[in-house]
Amino acid sequence: MTTPVVLFTADTRAFDGYTWHCAPSTYLEAVLDVSGGMPVILTAFGPRLDLDAVLDRVDGVVATGSRTNVHPSHYGVAATEAMGPYDEVRDATSLPLIRRAIERGIPLLCICRGLQELNVALGGSLASDIQDLPERMDHRHPDVPDMDGKFAIRHGVTIAAGGCLGRIVEGEIEVNSLHRQAVARLSDRLAVEATAPDGTIEAVSVKGAAGFTLGVQWHPEYWATTDGPSKAILEAFGAAIAAYAGGR
């Protein structure tokens, strides 16, 4: 069977006089090594892109995490500097990409910012700096210099039985946490798949989706080869993209 091709959202970064379109290697390697997909980064050119022409050629989509946040104008809130940084070029690409992948039944895995994009793309909203809200945990990464420390497994999440995620892992699992924004108003089209002890929505799926569609607020890609639940999520995505490729 031909190796499934997986499309990744791109951040834009200014460096050395150029604008770069890029994605973190941890996501790409997790899909390459655990999901069995061939990673390809989609340039963030927004409406200049013919998304259907691209999606005709791929078997899965991953919306990655990022240091940037979805611009609040996409969910009807006035933007402030504190809610940034933003990457509006990415927003203009990833939000319609997510909607079109769902419409076409293409397997979709949304991680961290990706989950937030999924909620916003389908009409939901976000809360910023949730660590300042009453009775909320601090979901930001630890202030440590090394990446393993930042991505350390930190708290439990309770998995909803019988859902997309519940068919992959059951009960309660331990996850990492590196976010300060979270779902505020959940899209009517999404179902809650997991919650943190403070009630924060940690995973979602699309109700009635034609294909595999899962969003997680944590980072299974970082420990995809060593942590059991993280590996199971990437393997489930791998099974979905393989099935989609086999049916094309």
**E-state strands within the chain:** 5-8, 11-15, 18-22, 38-41, 60-63, 108-111, 126-127, 155-159, 172-175, 182-183, 190-195, 201-206, 213-216
pLDDT tens across 5-42, in order? 999 999 999 999 999 999 999 999 999 999 999 999 99
Q: pLDDT tier at 148 (50, 70, 90 boundaries)?
A: very high
Pairwise CA distance, residues 213 & 119, whole Å: 12
pLDDT tens across 218-237, in order? 999 999 999 999 999 999 99
Burial-class residue 234 by CB neighbours within 10 Å (0-12, 13-18, 19+).
buried
In this prediction, residue 132 carries a pLDDT of 83
The dihedral region occupied by 207, where left means phi > 0, alpha psi between -120 and 50, and beta the remainder, is beta
Q: pLDDT tier at 248 (50, 70, 90 boundaries)?
A: confident
pLDDT tens across 49-106, in order? 999 999 999 999 999 999 999 999 999 999 999 999 999 999 999 999 999 999 999 9
In this prediction, residue 135 carries a pLDDT of 85
Active-site positions read: 112, 219, 221
pLDDT tens across 151-178, in order? 999 999 999 999 999 999 989 999 999 9
Q: The domain spanning residue 16 has which CATH number?
A: 3.40.50.880
Pairwise CA distance, residues 61 & 41, whole Å: 10
Other beta carbons within 10 Å of 74: 18
- DSSP type of residue 35: I
In this prediction, residue 218 carries a pLDDT of 97
Pairwise CA distance, residues 223 & 175, whole Å: 10
Stronger pLDDT, 148 or 248, i.e. the higher one: 148
In this prediction, residue 1 carries a pLDDT of 67
Number of domains in the chain: 1
Angle at the Cα of 190 (from 184 to 72), degrees rounded to 5? 35
- CA distances for 73 relative to 99, 121, 231, angstroms: 18, 12, 35
Domain that holds residue 18: 5-247
pLDDT tens across 97-139, in order? 999 999 999 999 999 999 999 999 999 999 998 888 888 998 8
In this prediction, residue 143 carries a pLDDT of 87
pLDDT tens across 174-223, in order? 999 999 999 999 999 999 999 999 999 999 999 999 999 999 999 999 99
